[in-house]
Structure 1
Amino acid sequence: MLHLRVHPDNPQPRLISQAVERIRAGDVVVYPTDAAYAIGCQIGNKNAMERIAQIRGLGAKHQYAIICADLSDIATYAKVDNAMYRLLKANTPAVTTYILPATSEVPRRLMHPKKKTIGLRVPSNPVCQMLLKELGEPLLTSTLILPGQDAPMDDPYDIEQLLEKRIDVFIDSGLGTLTTTSIVDLSGVNPEIVRRGVGDVSAFE
């Protein structure tokens, strides 16, 4: 496992470039977000995605999400009209995952099997932002919660001890938070607040 210790507010570009190189090679990465640590890989990498599902103990019906630097690529992955785009633009970046109708560009294994939706997140975390901008594309992402645990992992020591032989890259920015994202389903006629976390969802009530 490549362990990269980065500054939480001013991450070192050289270290982020190392992580990006490994992600492009198909590696699985654990990285900080504006909520808890997350685990991710390139969107189209089936093997890496299967490894993430195994690490997290996820079933076939899990709703995956992608994490983006901004909304510039949203039309590639989600069906969004002008009104919805303006609403999302006014409410990102945020500690919120938005469930949206997926386009045909999204691999079927990432969609909800029945609803054909995809989760979308735009973070404000400086490390995550630099990683995504350097990569030049969104990441498949999932909160780092191990099977049998109720809370996401936030301690770099625990992550290293438990996952050293199961992940490829760990971008360590110090202690994370135990906060969870809010989830808003925008795939139906009216917004549905699926989970209230730290993200402000008042615009969708």
Structure 2
Amino acid sequence: MKPIFADAAAIEHAVKLLQQGRLVAFPTETVYGLGADAANPDAVRRIFKAKGRPADHPLIVHIASTDSLNDWAQSVPDSALKLAAQFWPGPLALILNKKPEVSSVVTGGQDTVGLRVPGHPVALSLLREFGGGIAAPSANRFCRISPTQAVHVEEELGNAVDLILDGGACQVGVESTIVDLSGTRPKLLRPGYITQFDIEAVLQTEMLVVSTQSGQTDSSEQRAPGMMAVHYAPITVALLCPTERLPEMIQTLNFQNKKVGILAYSLKPAENTLTRLIRMPKQADDYAQALYASLRDLDSLQLDIILVEQPPETAAWRAINDRIGKATSAC
């Protein structure tokens, strides 16, 4: 399926497809989403089939405004309203207790539902014209690199999607922050562009932080997108290397005649016929925007291995380190 420019006519066509239970890929500020009518269980099942996604993995429902929260949530706590007022439209998803009529297909069988108002004009226009919620995980095969350009969706899903709306490259580049507000204390389930500090400053309370680096194995725990230990991964084997080990690893792999791809932001190793280097930005926001597209570029080159230089381990880089940690193994 070739992407089409997301003008008014394309959005109108997308709405008709969604109403028919079809799949539409569309841009958000984070990544491209694979959308279906969230009130249509059969349509939502098509998302799982297209992605190869397990049925117990919940989806985030995208809505047009805070006014729609009550259509999906059993109750909306003050904390949700505070965060929505501060960060919506934007890259923040809230987990709330769902209304009984919300399909368990969307929620992965849980009693909670993830909701967010995306901060991309195409996504917002689509939601307003559609008039309902759109369930939309990232528009890629399950556990693979998320798409940040329309062409990535085409390469990844082909004709499994009925329409791809092209709204340009995603500005944030990593998935939304997910905060669970369904219990007595807020939980950070997935870090993102909106940081733990940002959220705690609004709520005036400390959050619990759920670690998922070792995987989510307890079925009693809250499940949310991106909580698996392996996710966002290229097909090519990828290793995460400390800066000081990169030269040694490159030299060793070159000696073994291995074709090597490198994502590095501080080193400038010499390129040769066995090495492909992508120099990454040194600022966290710019790095996040470039990350998935750069990984995809290297993954397309039929390399033997990809080396990723370890980013700084500071709060500004937390979401990036989360995604890279799940896409790579230790060097």
- Of residues 60, 84, 87, the one that matches 1:89 is 84
Aligned partners of 2:70, 2:176: CA distance in 1, in Å?
23
Do the aligned residues in 2 keep the contact of 1:28 with 1:169 (CA within 8 Å)? yes
Residue 166 (structure 1) aligned with residue 168 (structure 2)? no
- How far apart are 1:38 and its partner, in Å? 0.5
Give 4+ residue runs of structure 1 displaced > 4 Å after superposition.
Answer: none
C-alpha offsets along residues 24-47 of structure 1, whole Å, 9 cap, x if unaligned?
Answer: 111101000010001010113233
| Cross-structure match for 1:194 | 189
- Structure 2 residue runs without a partner (length 5+): 201-205, 207-331
Describe the SS at the equivalent of 1:170. strand
Letter in 1 for 2:72: Y
Could you say which structure has the larger radius of gyration?
A: 2
**Bigger Cα displacement from structure 2, 120-129 vs 52-61:** 52-61
Letter in 2 for 1:164: G
Counting only pairs closer than 5 Å after superposition, residues 34-73 of structure 1 correspond to structure 2 as 34-73=29-68
Describe the SS at the equivalent of 2:3. strand
Structure number with greater CO (CA < 8 Å, separation at least 6) is 1
Counting only pairs closer than 5 Å after superposition, residues 111-190 of structure 1 correspond to structure 2 as 111-113=107-109, 115-149=110-144, 151-176=145-170, 178-190=173-185
Do the aligned residues in 1 keep the contact of 2:38 with 2:135 (CA within 8 Å)? yes
| Cross-structure match for 2:3 | 3
Aligned partners of 1:97, 1:81: CA distance in 2, in Å?
14
- How far apart are 1:22 and its partner, in Å? 1.4
Describe the SS at the equivalent of 1:142. coil
Aligned partners of 1:168, 1:125: CA distance in 2, in Å?
21
Do the aligned residues in 2 keep the contact of 1:76 with 1:105 (CA within 8 Å)? no
- How far apart are 1:176 and its partner, in Å? 2.8
Residue 98 (structure 1) aligned with residue 94 (structure 2)? yes
| Cross-structure match for 1:108 | 104
* Structure whose residues are more often helix by fraction: 2
| Cross-structure match for 1:20 | 15
Q: CA RMSD in A?
A: 1.9
Describe the SS at the equivalent of 1:194. strand
- How far apart are 1:18 and its partner, in Å? 1.3
Describe the SS at the equivalent of 1:162. helix
Aligned partners of 1:122, 1:190: CA distance in 2, in Å?
22
- When residues 194 and 95 of structure 1 are mapped into structure 2, their CA distance, relative to the original with a 3 A threshold, is same
Letter in 2 for 1:153: P
Describe the SS at the equivalent of 1:72. helix
- How far apart are 1:105 and its partner, in Å? 2.2
Letter in 2 for 1:155: Q
TM score, norm. by length of structure 1: 0.87
- How far apart are 1:125 and its partner, in Å? 0.5
Letter in 2 for 1:99: I
- When residues 183 and 82 of structure 1 are mapped into structure 2, their CA distance, relative to the original with a 3 A threshold, is closer
- How far apart are 1:21 and its partner, in Å? 1.3
| Cross-structure match for 1:33 | 28
**Bigger Cα displacement from structure 2, 153-162 vs 116-125:** 153-162
Letter in 2 for 1:141: A
Describe the SS at the equivalent of 2:4. strand
**Bigger Cα displacement from structure 2, 18-27 vs 85-94:** 85-94
Do the aligned residues in 2 keep the contact of 1:182 with 1:199 (CA within 8 Å)? yes
| Cross-structure match for 2:223 | none
Do the aligned residues in 2 keep the contact of 1:112 with 1:118 (CA within 8 Å)? no
- When residues 71 and 85 of structure 1 are mapped into structure 2, their CA distance, relative to the original with a 3 A threshold, is same
Do the aligned residues in 1 keep the contact of 2:45 with 2:105 (CA within 8 Å)? no
Do the aligned residues in 2 keep the contact of 1:2 with 1:168 (CA within 8 Å)? no
